[in-house]
Amino acid sequence: MKNTKIPNIPVRRAVLGLAPYGAPDEGRAGKLRLDFNENTVGCSPAVLRALSRMTGEQMAMYPEYQATTRRLARFFRVRPDEILLTNGIDDALHLISDTFIERGDAVLLAEPTFDMYRFFAELAGARVIALRYDEEMRFPIAGVLRELRRSPRVLYIANPSNPTGTLVQPAALRRILRAASRTLVFVDEAYFDFSGLTVLSWIRRYPNLMVSRTFSKSAGLAALRLGCLFARPEILSVMRRASTPYPVNTAALVAAEASIRDTRFVRKYAREVLRSRVLLEKGLTRLGARIYPSAANFVLADFGPGAHRMVRALERKGILVRERKDFPREGFVRISAGTRADTRRLLRAIQETL
């Protein structure tokens, strides 16, 4: 990036060196959105009813968190002092950097992964140690255990991984947590409703473990930005010092409470997505793409050199998928699994395109 300055105001070198996050283009409403792993049917009707009942007084007041925190704690089976609400997981990652990372500290991650891990680490001036998944999209456990001997400040693990969809199994996570005596291990469980694998209950066993969940995926509340961090009370108490006083808006609190009261909606949607994912994997394989086993609501597929043309052709048909350019070569596309009807429409379009 060109080393420019705002007139008379010096800009931090860490900011000048950042590559902007590739947020989705605008104008996505009404299209088949299979590019950012969103819920394709929308949130529960119970959420919409709860939001419609919000009063002018609620809008005029600053948010109040205690009651919602208690209810969410019961839902997730933790104590209220073991949960911290954030403005989406992006806010949680920013808060981790603000609380634990000094300039020059080492941060460990395995790429390709969620871009914001690196983004906020670099923004804090950290030294990013990035290991790589192998060609089979297997997590580099040996390399992670080796790097943990040097005590990096934070290790970020998306489980299931985004964009690979693969899982780090509990046995490997135990080895990591035992080896990470001086490292905060952040396990991102954004896709838990599709994988069924969680280490949330482990926060009482491992003092250096932090787990996150989001309402942006299966619950369909991406627009309202609500994430949850889970860890030992001592860790979250320190993080609250670095947090802004009102990070989560009242509408998000109202929506989250309505969502956890309608668990049937989320479970039904998750089951539909899992069936759709099987259909997607079989269809992509039949069309000649190489796919990788996924435990999330998306599939990573290798289409080879023609991937870019296919993605653009699908876009012209009103279907959005995510071309991944953070791999050593071109050809990789991440495709969300929506409903089975969504998947059938996509597969027909790919067949026509190819």
E strand or H helix that includes residue 227: strand 227-230
By residue range, what is the domain housing residue 244?
45-262
In one letter, which amino acid is 196? G
pLDDT digits (tens, 9 = 90+) for 10-20: 777 777 777 77
Same domain, yes or no: 164 and 292: no
Banded pLDDT at 40 (limits 50, 70, 90): very high
Domain boundary among 238, 262, 286: 262
* Mean pLDDT (the chain, rounded): 94
pLDDT of residue 34: 97
Q: Which helix (H) or strand (E) holds 187?
A: strand 184-188
167 with 256, same domain: the answer is yes
> Same structural domain for residues 148 and 201?
yes
| Dist CA 318 CA 349 (whole Å) | 10
- Is the predicted pLDDT of residue 4 greater than 70, yes or no? no
Q: Could you give the CA distance from residue 147 to residue 303 in angstroms, rounded to a whole number?
A: 33
Other beta carbons less than 10 A from residue 71's beta carbon: 16
Please check whether residue 8 lies inside any domain of the structure.
no
Residue 1: which pLDDT band, with cuts at 50, 70 and 90?
A: very low
Tell me: the pLDDT tens digits for 136-149?
999 999 999 999 99
Looking up tokens 């320190």 gives: 238
**Report field, pTM of the whole predicted structure over 0.85:** yes
Query: Do 253 and 269 reside in the same domain of the chain?
Result: no
Q: Is 138 part of any domain? A: yes
Query: Would you state the structure tokens that stand for residue 63, as one six-digit string?
Result: 């948010």
pLDDT tens for 304-333 read 998 999 999 999 999 999 999 888 888 999
Q: How many residues are recorded in the chain?
A: 354
Residue 137 lies in a domain: yes
Single-letter residue type at 204? R
**Residue 280's domain is classified under what CATH number?**
3.90.1150.10
Whether residues 249 and 231 fall in one domain: yes
Q: 230, 262, 294: which is the final residue of a domain?
A: 262
Please tell me the predicted confidence (pLDDT) of residue 16: 73
Q: How many domains does the chain have?
A: 2
- Taking only the tens place, the pLDDT of each residue in 179-197 is 999 999 999 999 999 999 9
- What does the pLDDT look like over 205-244, one tens digit per residue? 999 999 999 999 999 999 999 999 999 999 999 999 999 9
Which helix H or strand E contains 97, and what residues bound it? helix 88-100
Is residue 5 a part of any domain in this protein?
no
Q: Is a pLDDT exceeding 90 seen at residue 259?
A: yes
Of 262, 278, 313, which closes a domain?
262
The one-character DSSP state at 331 is -
Regarding whether 199 and 146 lie in a shared domain, the answer is yes
- Whether 110 maps to a domain, the answer reads yes
| Residue 174 sits in the same domain as residue 293 | no
Yes or no: say if 155 and 183 are a contact pair by the CB < 8 Å rule: yes
Local confidence band at 24 (pLDDT 50, 70, 90 cut-offs): low
Residues 218 and 339 in one domain: no
The model's pLDDT over 153-178, given as tens digits with 9 standing for 90+, comes to 999 999 999 999 999 999 999 999 99
Q: Per-residue pLDDT for 260 more than 70?
A: yes
The secondary structure element, H or E, covering residue 233 is helix 233-242
* Residue (of 329, 323, 342) closest to 36 by Cα position: 323
pLDDT band at 9 (very low <50, low <70, confident <90, very high): confident
Assigned domain for 303 exists = yes
Strand partners, 298: 336
Which pLDDT value is given to residue 3?
52
Cα separation, 72 vs 277, whole angstroms: 29
Q: State the Cα–Cα distance between residues 224 and 226, nearest whole angstrom.
A: 6
Buried/exposed 281-304: b ≥16 CB within 10 Å, e otherwise: bebbeeeebebbebbbbbbbbbbe
Q: Give the pLDDT mean for 245-253.
A: 97
Among candidate residues 54, 38, 79, 55, the one with its CA nearest the CA of residue 257: 54
Query: pLDDT value at position 19?
Result: 73
Q: What percent of the chain has pLDDT over 90?
A: 88
Structure tokens at 245: 């006083």
The residue with greater pLDDT, 7 or 187, is 187
For residue range 91-132, list pLDDT tens digits in order.
999 999 999 999 999 999 999 999 999 999 999 999 999 999
Q: Are residues 201 and 241 in the same domain?
A: yes
Q: Is residue 136 part of a domain?
A: yes
Can you read off the two tokens belonging to residue 189? 């469980």
Q: Are residues 220 and 143 in the same domain?
A: yes
